[in-house]
Chains A and B, each alone.
Chain A
Amino acid sequence: MEKFTTLTGLVVPLDRPNVDTDAIIPKQFLKSIKRSGFGPNLFDEWRYLDHGEPGMDNSKRPLNPDFVLNQARYQGAQVLLGRDNFGCGSSREHAPWALEDYGFRSVIAPSFADIFYNNCFKNGILPLVLDAAIVNQLFKETEASEGYRLTVDLPNQQVTTPTGESFAFEVDEFRKYCLLNGLDDIGLTLQCVDDIKAFEEKHKARSPWLFN
């Protein structure tokens, strides 16, 4: 997993609540047995005018000019600005895989769905929650000013606007640690093998039917 420390990136505003993981990456692309290559199909149904299927040459497909990701000023965006309940629905990790493959490293919203929020951290993406009023302000500033960039500083847990205004955000210590160091948490858990084995023995003595 790629480390995340501090990022200054172009912001793209996706102005709708309840953006679900079906919209982030539609089901036909979930048939892949790989975990890379989903970027060209990120938001496929909103991004293209035709129906997308795996294996198509996406560079030849007609783009939807009204979709925000297709606008020239937002090309190369690394920070996605969203609304409430971002990432709701299916647990598919293909959603953060697609965001990451496209080039996003951070998603900012007033609230996230739990599973999506968790999946982001496993893939080097920082999802961060800011107050709805602040998110609203960032939407206005992003739309008003071409080339609008935000600095996301994970060590200091701060988002800073181009004018220098800063907002603090919360993040769990353990998640922060893994993201800052790009750590695989399976390796960390396996450092607790003795704890797991000890628990398992007690658990089996107490509830042997769970080990049939």
Chain B
Amino acid sequence: MAGKTLYDKLWDAHVVRQNDDGSCLIYIDRQLVHEVTSPQAFEGLRLAGRQPWRTDANLATPDHNVPTTDREQGIAGIVDPISKLQVETLDANCDEFGITEFKMDDVRQGIVHVVGPEQGATLPGMTVVCGDSHTSTHGALGALAHGIGTSEVEHVLATQCLIQKKSKNMLVKVNGQVDPGVTAKDIVLAIIGEIGTAGGTGYAIEFAGQAIQNLSVEGRMTVCNMAIEAGARAGMVAVDDKTIDYVKGRPYAPNESQWDAAVNAWRDLRSDADATFDTVVELNAADIQPQVTWGTSPEMVVAVGDKVPNPADEANAVKRTGMEKALAYMGLEANTPINEISVDKVFIGSCTNSRIEDMREAAKVANGNKVADSVKLALVVPGSGLVKQQAEQEGLDKIFIAAGFEWREPGCSMCLAMNADRLEPGERCASTSNRNFEGRQGQGGRTHLVSPAMAAAAAVNGHFADVREMS
């Protein structure tokens, strides 16, 4: 019998029953809940007179709508009444149904995908879902994690299960080592550039190879986070010593009496040597340079030393039109060197890049430098209250503030601009977030996706610059 992939193992361990058409009922170990995609699900439960199947499998925190300033007042500090109602609704629903929630005034509050691993609430071997496409993040721990819609949030609340069809297996292998200054974000942007934003559609991706193994668990979260930007609902990395060390001692991690058995089970969370994948993609890590997106889709990405591509060189007519529309929206000319593009704002944060290592990486570049006068706003938004606390203990906040960055309270912030942090029409932003779609960071706003170090370098220079060339 052929070996199993990591995805096969995670899937097989959660099949409740198989239906005649090949779809399966899959058991869900953890559901993360936030304010935007849950109100209609709770309302659905109420209308049908249903109760959650297992309240303890759910963990909630508000993140999308929360302001990143003036948090002393709690919910009362949310100026927008519609945002406020949504956060109040989450609080009321969690209270009514008995679901644990880290509310706005809790130091553990933050972006769900930062909070889950930080608390040990997402663990190796789990199935993890959330009404948020970046749930793929948790795959970094050797879990099967993916985003779902609100109807499915309600389905999981009511049944602890999902009806799913198994995806195909894809292996993305990044061989060798990246150069210093090339980060997890650059690796995943390069992968998306290679396979395209629909390259992973219908697949679960396992990221492997020396360059992935060399990443910290937080770096692997950055990579898995953007699996969805390659079209794959789930991304994952095999469990190793780093994973186990990462989980140990976290509040929701297995207790002492369970620990050895858990570790023993987790050690098997890797693809067998003779496992077969439907598709294998290999990249050479040494070829990966710091990446900058130039267009309105994450696949529109080049190395910082490159130029904005020319649609005229694209043979495919649909793609060419897409490129032309992207350049028009982005206000860019073909063949412009990337490092000549100046930025108006800088955003360091989001579920992709707001963990402590991201903060450190950006602070290293900011240290002793100043945000360029031409940059109107440079925001640093930690991913959780605990990341913020840790960064402050290390003095990173002082480095950022001295350099002219704003040091904010945790939340999704300008990644999708549901709160007050946003781009104005025409403004250009170096952003550590995950989507450069039209209007994502504010109507008419222009987003360039980069790593935290590259964002800090853009803030200091006022334009994109190769972080490896900064002294």
With CB as the reference atom, state the residue of chain A lying closest to B234: A114
In the complex, the answer to whether A91 meets B85 with C-beta atoms within 8 Å is no
B83 to chain A, nearest CB (A): 5
A199 to chain B, nearest CB (A): 4
In the complex, the answer to whether A27 meets B416 with C-beta atoms within 8 Å is yes
- Residues on A close to B: CB < 8 A? 15-18, 20, 22-23, 26-28, 30-35, 45, 51, 54-55, 83-85, 88-93, 96, 111-115, 118-119, 122-123, 172-174, 185-186, 189-190, 192, 195-196, 199-200, 203, 206-212
Summarize B's interface: helix, strand, loop or mixed: loop
In the complex, the answer to whether B27 meets A207 with C-beta atoms within 8 Å is no
- Residues on B close to A: CB < 8 A? 14, 16-17, 19-23, 25, 27, 29, 36-37, 39-40, 43-44, 48, 50, 53, 56, 64-65, 80, 82-83, 85-86, 89, 123, 125-126, 131-133, 146-152, 154-155, 158-161, 163, 165, 167, 197-198, 201-202, 228, 231, 233, 252-255, 258, 261-262, 265, 297, 318-319, 321-322, 325, 416-418, 435, 437-440, 443
Chain A residues with CB below 8 A from B22, complex form: 172
In the complex, the answer to whether B27 meets A200 with C-beta atoms within 8 Å is yes
- Measured in the bound complex, the distance between the Cα atoms of B163 and A13 in whole Å is 32
Could you list some 26 contacts between A and B, CB below 8 A?
Answer: A15-B321, A20-B297, A20-B435, A22-B435, A31-B83, A32-B86, A84-B198, A84-B318, A89-B228, A90-B416, A91-B131, A91-B148, A113-B201, A114-B167, A114-B233, A115-B133, A115-B233, A122-B152, A172-B21, A172-B23, A186-B154, A190-B159, A196-B25, A203-B14, A210-B123, A211-B56
Chain A residues with CB below 8 A from B167, complex form: 114
With CB as the reference atom, state the residue of chain A lying closest to B39: A33
Given A22-B440, A199-B16, A200-B160, verify A85-B40 contact (CB < 8 Å): no
Chain B residues with CB below 8 A from A93, complex form: 37, 40, 131, 149-151
Tell me which of A28, A85, A174 contacts B418 (CB under 8 A).
Answer: A28
Chain B residues with CB below 8 A from A89, complex form: 133, 228, 435, 437
Tell me which of B17, B252, B261, B322 contacts A212 (CB under 8 A).
Answer: B252
In the complex, the answer to whether B27 meets A91 with C-beta atoms within 8 Å is no
In the complex, the answer to whether A54 meets B155 with C-beta atoms within 8 Å is no
In the complex, the answer to whether B37 meets A92 with C-beta atoms within 8 Å is yes
Chain B residues with CB below 8 A from A96, complex form: 149
Additional A-B contact list (6), CB under 8 Å, known A17-B322, A18-B197, A209-B258: A18-B322, A22-B440, A115-B149, A172-B23, A196-B159, A203-B27
In the complex, the answer to whether B197 meets A27 with C-beta atoms within 8 Å is no
- Measured in the bound complex, the distance between the Cα atoms of B125 and A83 in whole Å is 37
A97 to chain B, nearest CB (A): 9
- Measured in the bound complex, the distance between the Cα atoms of B322 and A83 in whole Å is 11
